[in-house]
Structure 1
């Protein structure tokens, strides 16, 4: 998510709590939630719990700059940490502008109980994905309760009224007790929220399931997960109602989400015709290849887009089970909408024949870091990355030096001619006198030799 400009260090904040945080809750948060949200978000969460007061006053606010100094982070890191806490249900945020300026109210929530965490489709699956099977099993064992109870045991536990007696009528509660009940109201721990599909025709789904054995409230309980399945496969309400009915346990009336996913995948696979080479008419011209890709990404659910992208490489290709799981898990995290996921699928399959879980997660995280939140932003991120990569290659090529060439001395150059040096007039006179003396000495020597002969 992209940080809004209004979320600044100079904005104020106040703290309130929806419940209490016990030592055990803190252990659950660190062991189960920290692998999902990271150390910065967990440090923020625990720091806010240390600072929250019993009574929150709007006028008793601090600047968010205080949090930045406390945690030694910047405003973008604070925003990312905040939304991660919100996503997993540990925090709710409200905002208001008054005479003192904009401020945020942070409402703190305790973690869900470990059993609820592991039963949650989103939290449990994301933890498994983050820590791996071995560590996941260790955490399950760490928080599992195995009560010792034998069939032959007879319970003799005393009840409350077996032990305690009241001096007054229990039907007439003292005012202080009545007031305490309202003051002690504690909100339930929240869970992560997916889109509920406000535009999906849930009324039609409910009407078609009216005569089935589905338990009352099951649609509302699982609406977020149901919407994710319908969106991933592009299932229309009438077909979806039939799938839900088939995935409902006949004894308990509860929806089996795992069975529903399998049925959705089987139904999609059967609905696709066997791949055969066909001639197709040319699509209408658009301004650019990116616009054509956007049109496809916005018109198909991820499951259909994945198949189309594979068959665009070769009509006989198909998505493998591990590819389906990888894309579906990304869809369930609710970090990108369906068109953005489709752009990501296309980007990976441009240079790869299949989708690898590690590569998918790596690119998804880099996009999240860059605040990509739409298919248009995804295309821009791809373009910027490709330009940056090309620029880096040019710099590396430009910096590569050829073999060193030594400069030849003047005398070794072709056509070298020695410089003509000029003699001054003084030097000429000195030279003439020396030549004259040399000639005189030479003549005297010649006469001496002749006398001896």
Structure 2
């Protein structure tokens, strides 16, 4: 994962291009359908780039990223983070070339999917459903729908071109070399057009088709059945629902029609049913895979051991970190559900989730206890912890409190014997434990207890003096 300052500088220039004419109706699609998935900052960047195009033009003037930062009142990291999300969801195509010491970029703004494409995408519509809920999803679907015109009740009487127009074959279509040149389009130019939004790409390389084919005999499913559309759908479903090639073999076989062709609608339904049975959830969610760039602590290359450790937690997904802590073992469904809950319901960033998972597993003998995790997660959410460094500092300062929460969940009042850990324990947590058990820490606790006792004795004497004085005054 590269840092924004390695990819982009304020002095780098950019120009905005449009893949085709953008319509005003696209604003509604972007605002209502895309914004819930990628957030208002990304939509703001898209609209800002769009606004740099003159009306009915496909190119803008060159400008500095520094000007873009001032226009949006955002730093370069936030702009780069928003730009990558626009790229990933298919709304922006980026071209780069080296020019002297700086770089030049072309930001090609792509039109969004049409409402029909979006609601039948099989991926974005599912993420939107999970994000906004059923009621709002149905409201949006109704907003972008209208009743069909009942043309079936009418007779088609439209006349064709040939019925209305005739061609004068004698001289009207006589073409000279000069006119041929006039009819052709200069290769350095392009005509205005309306480009349709493209579906999400880049999923096929994430799926192991060789393993899929190894378990399916050609006598059952001929290789010609796996055309580009089918392969793309399989790869998307695998990414969407987390289906491995072995399980996908069963789903493919269950979706065959009588002609041994793969019914894509049946395949989508089978994948959705499998996900609901496997994870007891209606729809998967679209979440950040790793820590967002704007929440990465160090902009420069890490130098110390602690900085390297923090960078690791910032550049690894919570699922991958859980696998690392488990010695390479695949996490259980319940553990993955806990990760999804704290990231979506408590809105914890992936890096903070990594710190939380590691802390809890180390302190509870490598167990992810749902109630304990959620209690700490809600505390961190209220504290608005968003970076790995902040999470580590809070874990240090509240370590004693968190330990009490863990102890209270044990049966009885007796403290179980501390388990011997063989995994690599982070130094930042060792420091907390060492400090608590050191002679200096013990002396500090004793000193605090002594001060509290002296304070209590002084308050007791003051109370007796006050009581005695009031009694004497009453006698007088």
1:84 to 2:85 alignment? yes
Say if 2:325 is the partner of 1:321: no
Q: Would the alpha carbon gap of residues 254 and 371 (structure 1) be closer, same or farther in structure 2, given more than 3 Å must change? A: same
Rate the CA distance shift 1:131–1:344 in 2: closer, same or farther, 3 A.
Answer: farther
Given that 2:255 and 2:262 are in contact with CA atoms closer than 8 Å, whether structure 1 keeps it comes out as: no
Tell whether the 8 Å contact from 2:208 to 2:245 is kept in structure 1 after alignment.
no
Please show how residues 50-449 of structure 1 align to structure 2 within 5 Å.
Answer: 50-52=51-53, 54=57, 56=59, 61-99=62-100, 101-164=102-165, 168-169=172-173, 174-179=180-185, 183-184=190-191, 187-197=195-205, 200-202=208-210, 205=213, 208=218, 211=222, 214=225, 216-228=227-239, 232-236=242-246, 240-241=248-249, 243-250=251-258, 253-255=262-264, 256-261=266-271, 321-322=280-281, 329-330=284-285, 335=289, 340-343=318-321, 355=338, 358-362=341-345, 366-367=349-350, 384=389, 387-393=392-398, 405=458
Shift of 1:150: 4.8
- The 1:112–1:143 alpha-carbon spacing in structure 2 relative to 1, beyond 3 Å, is same
What is the deviation of 1:388? Answer: 1.9
Measure, in 2, the Cα distance between the counterparts of 1:371 and 1:93.
31
Structure ID, larger Rg: 1
Q: Per-residue displacement from partner, 1:392-428 (whole Å, max 9, x unpaired)?
A: 337999999955757999xx9xxxxxxxxxxxxxxxx
**1:128: Cα distance to partner?**
1.2
CA drift of 1:9 comes to: 2.1
Change (3 A) 1:175 1:138: farther
Shift of 1:265: 6.2
Q: Specify the alignment match of 1:305 in structure 2.
A: none
The separation in 2 between residues aligned to 1:199 and 1:37, in whole angstroms, is: 24
**2:442 maps to which residue?**
none
CA distance in 2, matches of 1:126, 1:218: 21
* Cα distance change of structure 1 residues 214 and 201 upon mapping to structure 2, 3 Å threshold: closer
8 A contact 1:19–1:187 mirrored in 2: yes
Are 1:196 and 1:227, in contact at CA under 8 Å, matched by a contact in 2? no
Distance across 1 between alignment mates of 2:58 and 2:33? 29
Q: Which structure 1 residue ranges, 5 or more long, are not aligned?
A: 270-318, 413-453
CA contact (8 A) 2:204 2:235 kept: yes
Q: Which residue of 2 aligns with 1:287?
A: none
After superposition, what is the alpha-carbon deviation per residue over 1:99-120, rounded to whole angstroms, capped at 9, x for unaligned? Answer: 2511222110011110110111
Q: Give the Cα–Cα distance (whole angstroms) in 1 for the partners of residues 268 and 133 of structure 2.
A: 20
Aligned partners of 1:81 and 1:166: how far apart in 2? 54
Shift of 1:216: 3.9
Q: TM-score, normalised by structure 2?
A: 0.58
Distance 2:279 2:233 in 1: 27
Residues of 1 paired with 2:397 and 2:288: CA distance? 34
Partners of 1:34 and 1:18 lie apart in 2 by 21
Kindly indicate whether the alpha-carbon contact (under 8 Å) linking 2:14 and 2:104 is maintained by their aligned counterparts in 1.
Answer: yes
Aligned residues: 344
RMSD: 4.8
2: CA distance between counterparts of 1:357 and 1:203? Answer: 28
1:1-40 paired onto structure 2 within 5 Å:
3-6=3-6, 7-40=8-41
Quote the Cα distance in structure 2 between the aligned partners of 1:248 and 1:334.
34
Alpha-carbon separation, structure 2, partners of 1:41 and 1:393:
36
Structure 1 stretch displaced more, 16-25 or 338-347: 338-347
SS at match of 1:5: helix
Alpha-carbon distance in 1 for matches of 2:186, 2:85: 34
Deviations 1:369-407 (A, max 9, x none): x798xx99xx9x998565322333379999999557579
Distance of aligned partners of 1:176 and 1:365 in 2 relative to their CA distance in 1, 3 Å threshold? farther
SS at 1:94 equivalent: strand
Change (3 A) 1:335 1:396: closer
For 2:81 and 2:387, locate their aligned partners in 1 and report how far apart those are by CA, in whole Å: 22
Match of 1:294 in 2: none
Question: What is the DSSP-based 3-state SS (H/G/I as helix, E as strand, rest coil) of the residue aligned with 1:221?
Answer: helix
| Rounded Cα–Cα distance in structure 1 between residues aligned with 2:58 and 2:153 | 51
Deviation, 1:366, is: 0.9
Equivalents in 1 of 2:341, 2:207: separation in Å? Answer: 33
Q: Deviations over 1:241-283 (max 9, x none)?
A: 45313223447743233344268669xx9xxxxxxxxxxxxxx
CA contact (8 A) 2:19 2:58 kept: no
The separation in 2 between residues aligned to 1:161 and 1:68, in whole angstroms, is 57
